[in-house]
Amino acid sequence: MKVLVLNSGSSSVKYELWETSPEAIAANSDTLIKRGNVERVDDIDQALHTVFDDLGALSVDAVGHRIVHGGAKYTASVLVDAQVEKDIEDLGELAPLHNPHNLAGVRAAQRRLPSARHVAVFDTAFHHTLPQIAYAYGLPFEYLTERKIRRYGFHGISHRYVSWKFAELHGKSREQYRLITCHLGNGCSVCAIEYGKSIDTSMGFTPLEGLLMGTRAGDVDAGAILHLITQDRQSPLEVLKMLNSESGLKGLSGVSNDMRDVQKHAAAGEPRSQLSVDMFCYRVRKYIGAYLAAMDGADALIFTGGIGENSPEIRAQICSKTASLGISLDAAANTAKSGEPRQIGHGRVPVWVVPTQEELLIARDTLRCILNIPHE
Ligand code: ADP
């Protein structure tokens, strides 16, 4: 089956066309036929027009859509129907920066390919197993039950993929391990996966909580935000924009949201860039420590995402002062260049790099939903 995977965001539509089948999944031989990125989306129909121009004569049997927020309702990928569309629309209230664009992508793709099956794959779904102690905030209980103010967690597609891949490489299943997965890209999150289930993750009600990211602040005292609104008279929208788009590596360093640029400036002695790199690594290390405590240990620590896969310096800094936790890197393995999954630390908690393949997982889930076969 040829599955078009669409990631419809606010500024771009990323796509990949995969050929997959139950046999290909079993043999790990799914093939990527084409991939591309259409920048600056003003009109989603126009963007999809460009995607299909790129695809030329290639046929598409089904479409898998990356949807950021599936709320508490969507615990797995689903075939899109009118109810699913309505739910994604309603959840736009919780994810105003993402879900409306994702849904516009679904609708435009349906207009373009009315006879194809469309599947929604949610970034939140993998975290549906979070226990209440991890997903509740310390607000009055009605805020949880009535207002749905809770941790949802994001990047679930990536955490799910790398935990599956790690287990598969060992000829085992995810259910046999306690894993800490660090997705470090433009957005960053850490996940504690206890015997197959996500039991805690650093992103919360929105993808803003937790680690320092490219342009997002991560953890900030809610009181500081309220101070800006009540005392400094900044508008809530201004503050939202600042927290999402002008903070993180970009805002702290004043240089860039791109880790490579910030590292270059830090190496040249620029103190704000150095602070940004140090804070980035420190926060990841704190979350690793927290999740070791949450699971009473771990059987592996896994790095993924653009930074996690490609920066030996950042991995080394995160895994410094962690010897007592059983985490130590093998310097040669850490710096060796490779695009393959690989072990880079041989301490009590083995450390791995596992490149993520979110689009592949979306393509596979799309096939599984259509054929009604179980998801891994
Ligand atoms: P997204 O979250 O948008 O999918 P990626 O996972 O591609 O993003 O991660 C993008 C980040 O990865 C950027 O900050 C980029 O600087 C960083 N990155 C990519 N390659 C390297 C590298 N060799 N060293 C350090 N950072 C890198």
Q: If pLDDT is split at 50, 70 and 90, which confidence band does 205 have? A: very high
Nearest Cα neighbor of 3 from 355, 370, 357 is 370
Whether 66 shows a pLDDT value over 80: the answer reads yes
Is the pLDDT score of 306 beyond 80?
yes
Asked if 115 and 179 sit in the same domain, the reply is no
| Averaged pLDDT score across all residues of the chain | 96
Residue 79's pLDDT is 98
Q: What is the largest distance, in Å, between two alpha-carbon atoms of the chain?
A: 61
Distances (CA, A) of 161 to 24, 137, 363: 16, 27, 12
- Over residues 310-327, the mean pLDDT reads 97
- Indicate if ligand 1 lies below 6 Å from the C-beta of 259: yes
Alpha helices in 37-140 (DSSP H): 44-55, 82-90, 99-112, 132-135
How much is the pLDDT for 31? 98
Helices (H) and strands (E) in the chain, counts: 16, 12
Residue 110 and residue 229 in one domain: no
Going by pLDDT thresholds of 50, 70 and 90, the confidence category of residue 295 is: very high
In a domain, 36, yes or no: yes
| 123 catalytically annotated | yes
Look at residue 40 and tell me whether its pLDDT is greater than 80: no
Residue 317 Cβ contacting ligand 1 at under 6 Å = no
Residue 310 Cβ < 6 Å to ligand 1: yes
Query: Is 359 part of any domain?
Result: no
Indicate the pLDDT class of residue 345, thresholds 50, 70 and 90: very high
In a domain, 346, yes or no: yes
- 361 assigned to some structural domain: no
Q: What is the CATH number of the domain that holds 31?
A: 3.30.420.40
Q: Is residue 147 part of a domain?
A: no
32 shares its domain with 109: yes
Tell me which of 10, 39, 252, 311 to substitute to probe ligand 1's pocket, judged by most ligand atoms within 8 Å of the beta carbon. Answer: 311
| Residue 285 token pair | 């290390």
pLDDT of residue 118: 98
Percent of residues, the chain, with pLDDT higher than 90? 96
Task: Give the model's pLDDT for residue 11.
Answer: 86
**Average pLDDT of the residues in 197-214:** 97
Name the band, by pLDDT with cuts 50, 70 and 90, for residue 69: very high
Residue 258 CB less than 6 A away from ligand 1: yes
Looking at residue 357, its pLDDT comes to 97
In a domain, 21, yes or no: yes
| In-domain check, residue 345 | yes
For ligand 1, the distance from its centroid to the CA atom of residue 233, given in whole angstroms, is: 35
Same domain, 117 and 177: no
pLDDT at 97 exceeding the cut of 90: no
Report, as an integer, the average pLDDT of 323-352.
97
pLDDT at 361: 98
Give residue 41's pLDDT: 74
Residue 329 CB less than 6 A away from ligand 1: no
Together in a domain, 71 and 203? no
Into how many domains does the chain fold?
2
356 CA distance to ligand 1 middle (Å): 12
* The pLDDT value given to residue 188: 98
**Cβ(15)–Cβ(372) under 8 Å?**
no
Note the pTM of the prediction, 2 decimals.
0.97
Residue 129 forms part of a structural domain: no
Percentage, residues of the chain above pLDDT 70 = 100
16 lies in the same domain as 108: yes
Q: What is the mean pLDDT of residues 224-251?
A: 96
- Which pLDDT score is estimated for 94? 84
| Enclosing domain of residue 43 | 2-122
Q: What is the CA radius of gyration of the chain?
A: 21
